[in-house]
Structure 1
């Protein structure tokens, strides 16, 4: 059986990197971004966070986009006293590109079993003390309101620290054309593997193609929560893989 094409659904900038890495490993991969990253229409909440930056002990970034849009050309000097928390390699890369030194970043190891808030918390829990202040920098909805899981914020609060959140960018359902709609329709028959690293991408796919049935399609998810969303959407074959390149390639090659 010929190898199936892999459809990478991450936001455009990250998708291009994943596609290049997968192609370099011999995988037939294409990008079909299912989340659009957009700037905030009003950055006053981000500017207010920068005005309070001296009061924070740690800044947690949920994605590379969070780092890129939070700094947006600003110097890290005002935040040099902070620890910078990241859940994965892509976010670490975004922080490094923004000028954050590697010695100031806490993130799960490259060979960690998972890359999420739980894995990060296991790493940074010992840093948290009563009275500490943490800022979570994340994405927002179309209006710029911060959205996302609250698990880490609750853990921080239960440890006696104060946790704030700010949206540094917006996550939108992308506009797609006929070429993208054709890819979606053709990939519903199981001839391709959908690679999902976000439950939001699955929700957006369903919004963009509400009449498509997914029971014949296969999906590779980078977390069990995302796999659950894929099964709920109707994908007939769903597997879970670490987002490391070697794990993804092995999972793709063994996909049946």
Structure 2
């Protein structure tokens, strides 16, 4: 019996690496984006911060999307100032930095040492808070999200500037997507979910299908998620088969290649 098709729910341009890894490993893959990323084109606050980047002690990227939204505003020959440290939450953000020519050889990059749980809570202990006291930290974020890290840094008397660089946008649930979703539901698939926000979108879309058991069928699909908060949210929404993996495409690949 062949392995189930893997459904990657990331935006198409962010699904390519995992898709190639899975197809090379012999898995059948479909990219079915449940959200898109929309950079904020007119963003004078962000542009001013970029001009003054050397005045910050650290820049924090909350996601790979934050990394991409930042670098799209820079010239192709721009180089990161080596005196400005970087902090990221997970392996995917590190990979995004590498794609833009930034690595540990050129700048200090902080990230959680516990790869089994990568979030703001595990990033915070990695930072030298006494050294950051009274200094400026620039957080590049989406238009929604948690404020734990910003609030914690401010409590440590760090001067924090959190700037929205992009928005998450839900695609239109058109006839093509309705047909695709119905096919995936009835086939039974392995779903890669990398954002807790898309879980509600997925169930809402299922409820719109002309299929009475669509929501129940979705809740029986196998989900692979790289963060415990996504796993918790999936359980709250009634999903029955949720597998928590470590952060990064290679860890997702390993989980998808391992027996349930």
Q: Shorter-chain TM-score: which interval?
A: 0.7 to 0.9
Taking the aligned partners of 2:2 and 2:96, their CA distance within structure 1 comes to: 36
Deviation at 1:167, TM superposition (A): 1.3
Structure 1 contact 106–124 (Cα < 8 Å) conserved:
no
Partner of 1:132 in structure 2?
A: 135
Taking the aligned partners of 1:5 and 1:107, their CA distance within structure 2 comes to: 36
Structure 2 contact 40–165 (Cα < 8 Å) conserved:
yes
Taking the aligned partners of 1:137 and 1:253, their CA distance within structure 2 comes to: 34
Partner of 1:122 in structure 2?
A: 125
Partner of 2:98 in structure 1?
A: 96
Taking the aligned partners of 2:250 and 2:41, their CA distance within structure 1 comes to: 39
Q: CA RMSD in A?
A: 2.6
Taking the aligned partners of 1:16 and 1:246, their CA distance within structure 2 comes to: 13
Name which of structure 1's ranges 164-173 and 246-255 shifts more when overlaid on structure 2. Answer: 246-255
Partner of 1:71 in structure 2?
A: 71
Cα 1:162/1:210, change in 2 over 3 Å: farther
Cα 1:247/1:48, change in 2 over 3 Å: closer
Deviation at 1:116, TM superposition (A): 2.0
Output aligned runs, 1:79-90, within 5 Å.
79-90=81-92
Partner of 1:227 in structure 2?
A: 231
Structure 2 contact 59–140 (Cα < 8 Å) conserved:
yes
Structure 1 contact 37–170 (Cα < 8 Å) conserved:
yes
TM-score (norm 1): 0.85
Would you say 1:53 and 2:53 are equivalent positions? yes
Structure 2 contact 110–126 (Cα < 8 Å) conserved:
yes
Taking the aligned partners of 2:128 and 2:28, their CA distance within structure 1 comes to: 40
Gaps of 5+ in 1: 141-146
Cα 1:68/1:105, change in 2 over 3 Å: farther
Structure 2 contact 103–109 (Cα < 8 Å) conserved:
no
Partner of 1:155 in structure 2?
A: 152
Structure 1 contact 96–102 (Cα < 8 Å) conserved:
no
Structure 1 contact 60–84 (Cα < 8 Å) conserved:
yes
Structure 1 contact 10–201 (Cα < 8 Å) conserved:
no
Name which of structure 1's ranges 65-74 and 30-39 shifts more when overlaid on structure 2. Answer: 65-74
TM-score (norm 2): 0.84
The C-alpha deviation readout for 1:72-105, integer Å capped at 9, x for no partner, is: 2525557442101112232123223334343314
The C-alpha deviation readout for 1:174-223, integer Å capped at 9, x for no partner, is: 23443322232233347101111110222332343334413322211111
The C-alpha deviation readout for 1:13-36, integer Å capped at 9, x for no partner, is: 111221111222222222111110
Any idea what SS the aligned residue of 1:120 has? Answer: helix
Taking the aligned partners of 1:215 and 1:62, their CA distance within structure 2 comes to: 29
How many residues align? The count is 250
The C-alpha deviation readout for 1:139-174, integer Å capped at 9, x for no partner, is: 22xxxxxx2111111221222212111111221002
Would you say 1:208 and 2:212 are equivalent positions? no
